[in-house]
């Protein structure tokens, strides 16, 4: 799949939530409106009619399904399909009644009349007109708007999408999204060798033995060089012959001698 065909889930989140909420209202309002005497005839809650099914429940369900597709998908094509589905549901709420009655010639499939309207009283009252907008024309226009907005949001290619596509071009298996191109944190221990166990520990190399050292590791100064006492008490010159004579006293070449008077 082209990486630019993948988008962030937050791209159409606002439009998706609006489609879901408005679709639920459009599909359920005719069934629950009679609880507060607001809606269309018949004035009975949860009563099934073909008009409520084909002109309210089905287009409302299409808007909800389209909103869910836009909300959860990361595919640009599926997001556009979801927005288009929602827009079709909104358009059907606006024109569905006229299409069924006048084009398909099915007058039995009817929305009914607003509960606050009476043919004997003349034109619509404010409350009756509010019922028309809240259940069909007005909510249908809002659903159509957010569906079209979702399609537009899903179809555009932003600079962020291009950047994500460039980043993931080097790594085909890495998903594009809000965090594309950012290294993921994790525990990489075990992927690289450590010092432990790679080199031999104590006991694997022989120690150098030195005979003069009782520890067997390193020689010490003791025993290798004469001490100071030996230097002062022991002379390297031969002893003077006994009995005196000219050779009784021999000058020490290491000590400077004074000239004889």
Residue 119 gets which letter from DSSP?
A: G
The overall average pLDDT reported for the chain is 76
Q: Between the CA of residue 103 and those of 95, 96, 107, 151, 221, what are the distances in Å?
A: 11, 10, 10, 29, 118
Helix, strand, coil percentages (3-state) for the chain, rounded to 5, are 50, 0, 50
Kindly state the average pLDDT of the residues 42-65.
95
Sole residue written with tokens 């269309």: 40
Question: Can you tell me the distance from the alpha carbon of 182 to that of 141, in angstroms, rounded to the nearest whole number?
Answer: 41
Q: Return phi, psi of residue 245, to 5°.
A: 100, 180
Q: Are 16 and 9 in contact (CB under 8 A)?
A: no
Q: Is pLDDT above 90 for 49?
A: yes
Q: Is pLDDT above 90 for 29?
A: yes
| pLDDT band per the 50, 70, 90 thresholds, residue 124 | confident
Percent of the chain with pLDDT over 90: 46
Alpha-carbon dihedral angle through residues 70, 76, 81, 83, given to the nearest 10 degrees: 40
Q: What does R_g of the chain's alpha carbons equal in angstroms?
A: 50
Give the angle 217-219-223 at the CA atoms, nearest 5°.
140
Q: Is pLDDT above 80 for 41?
A: yes
Instruction: Kindly report, residue by residue over 1-10, the tens digit of the pLDDT.
Output: 444 566 776 7
């Amino acid at each position: 799949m082209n990486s630019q065909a993948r988008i962030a889930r937050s791209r159409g989140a606002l439009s998706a939530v609006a489609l879901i909420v408005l679709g639920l209202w459009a599909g359920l309002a005719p069934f629950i409106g009679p609880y507060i005497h607001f809606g269309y005839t018949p004035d009975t809650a949860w009563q099934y009619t073909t008009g409520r099914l084909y002109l309210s429940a089905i287009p409302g369900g299409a808007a909800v399904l389209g909103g869910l597709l836009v909300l959860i998908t990361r595919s640009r094509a599926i997001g556009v399909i979801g927005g288009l589905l929602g827009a079709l549901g909104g358009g059907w709420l606006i024109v569905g009644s006229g299409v069924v009655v006048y084009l398909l010639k099915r007058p039995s499939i009817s929305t009914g009349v607003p509960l606050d309207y009476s043919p004997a009283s003349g034109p619509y009252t404010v409350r009756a007109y509010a019922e028309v907008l809240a259940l069909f024309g007005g909510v249908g226009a809002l659903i159509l708007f957010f569906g079209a907005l979702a399609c537009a949001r899903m179809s555009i290619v932003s600079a962020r999408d291009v950047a994500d596509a460039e980043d993931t071009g080097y790594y085909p298996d890495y998903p594009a999204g809000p965090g594309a191109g950012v290294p993921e944190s994790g525990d990489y221990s075990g992927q690289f060798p450590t010092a432990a166990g790679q080199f031999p520990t104590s006991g694997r190399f022989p120690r150098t033995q030195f005979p003069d050292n009782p520890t067997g590791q390193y020689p010490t100064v003791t025993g290798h060089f004469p001490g100071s006492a030996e230097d002062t008490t022991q002379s390297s010159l031969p002893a003077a012959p006994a009995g005196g004579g000219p050779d009784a006293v021999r000058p020490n070449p290491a000590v400077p001698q004074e000239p004889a008077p």
